[in-house]
Structure 1
Amino acid sequence: MGEKINRGLGVLIPRKNLDQSSFQEEGMASQQLDKSASYQASQSVNPAAKTMSSSSINPDDINLLAQFLAHEQIPASSHPPINTDCIVICVSAVLYPAEAVFKHLERNLQLTKTLVLCGGIGHSTPHLYEAVSRHPDYAHLVPEITGKPESHVLHTIFTRCFDATFIQKSGCTVLLEDKSTNCGQNALETRALLARNGIPEPKSMIVVQDPTMARRTVASFEKAYAPRPPKLLSWPIIVPRVKVEEGELVYNDDDGSMPGVTGTLWSMSRFLGLVLGEIPRLRDDEHGYGPMGKGFIGHVDIPEEVEHAYSRVQRGIGEDLAKR
Structure 2
Amino acid sequence: MNKEISDAFNCIIEFLAVRDIAQMSKDALKQACGASVTDVIIALGSDLPVVAETACELYKAGYGEKLMFCGGIGHSTINLKKKVAKILNVDIDRLPESEAEIYACLAKDKYQIESSSIFMDKTSTNTSENIKNAIQIFNDHTIKHQNVILIQDPILQKRSYVTALDLFNNSQKIINYAPIIPKLNPDGTLQNDTPYLWEGKRLYELALGEVYRLRDDENGYGPNGKGFLRHVDVPEEVNRSFEIIADKMPEYLARCQ
| TM-score, normalization by structure 1 | 0.70
Q: How much does 1:56 deviate?
A: 7.6
In structure 1, the residue matched to 2:127 is 183
In structure 1, the residue matched to 2:17 is 70
Runs of 4+ in structure 1 deviating by more than 6 angstroms, as ranges, are none
Structure 2 residue corresponding to 1:271, chosen from 194, 203, 215: 203
In structure 2, the residue matched to 1:202 is 145
Structure 1 residue corresponding to 2:57, chosen from 97, 103, 106: 103
1:145 and 2:92 are equivalent in the alignment: no
In structure 2, the residue matched to 1:154 is 103
Q: Is contact 1:290-1:296 (8 Å) kept? A: yes
Q: Is contact 1:205-1:231 (8 Å) kept? A: yes
SS for the counterpart of 2:120 is strand
In structure 1, the residue matched to 2:220 is 288
How far apart, in 2, do the equivalents of 1:205 and 1:286 lie? 32
Q: How much does 1:305 deviate?
A: 0.8
- Which has the bigger relative contact order, CA under 8 A and spacing at least 6? 1
In structure 2, the residue matched to 1:242 is 184
Q: Aligned pairs, how many?
A: 244
Give the aligned residue type for 1:231.
K
Q: Is contact 2:151-2:178 (8 Å) kept? A: yes
How far apart, in 2, do the equivalents of 1:104 and 1:56 lie? 35
SS for the counterpart of 1:87 is strand
How far apart, in 2, do the equivalents of 1:56 and 1:238 lie? 22
Q: How does 1:242-261 map to 2 (within 5 A)?
A: 242-244=184-186, 248-253=187-192, 260-261=193-194
**Alpha-carbon displacement from aligned partner over 1:61-103 (angstroms, at most 9, x marks no partner):** 111111111112122x333622212111012211123213312
SS for the counterpart of 1:213 is helix
In structure 2, the residue matched to 1:311 is 243
1:83 and 2:83 are equivalent in the alignment: no
Give the aligned residue type for 1:97.
V
Give the aligned residue type for 1:276.
L
Structure 1 residue corresponding to 2:163, chosen from 220, 242, 245: 220
Q: Is contact 1:204-1:230 (8 Å) kept? A: yes
How far apart, in 1, do the equivalents of 2:157 and 2:177 lie? 8
In structure 1, the residue matched to 2:69 is 117
Q: How much does 1:131 deviate?
A: 2.1
1:232 and 2:171 are equivalent in the alignment: no
How far apart, in 2, do the equivalents of 1:79 and 1:162 lie? 20
**Alpha-carbon displacement from aligned partner over 1:38-80 (angstroms, at most 9, x marks no partner):** xxxxxxxxxxxxxxxx1485211111111111112122x3336
Q: Is contact 1:206-1:232 (8 Å) kept? A: yes
How far apart, in 2, do the equivalents of 1:112 and 1:97 lie? 15
Unaligned runs of 5+ in 2: 30-35, 253-257
- Over the matched positions of the two proteins, sequence identity in percent amounts to 27
Closer/same/farther in 2, CA of residues 79 and 237 from structure 1, 3 Å limit: farther
Closer/same/farther in 2, CA of residues 225 and 100 from structure 1, 3 Å limit: closer
How far apart, in 2, do the equivalents of 1:319 and 1:128 lie? 25
Please say which structure displays the higher CA radius of gyration.
1
Q: How much does 1:229 deviate?
A: 5.4
| TM-score, normalization by structure 2 | 0.87
Closer/same/farther in 2, CA of residues 139 and 296 from structure 1, 3 Å limit: farther
Unaligned runs of 5+ in 1: 1-53, 254-259
SS for the counterpart of 2:185 is strand
How far apart, in 2, do the equivalents of 1:142 and 1:92 lie? 17
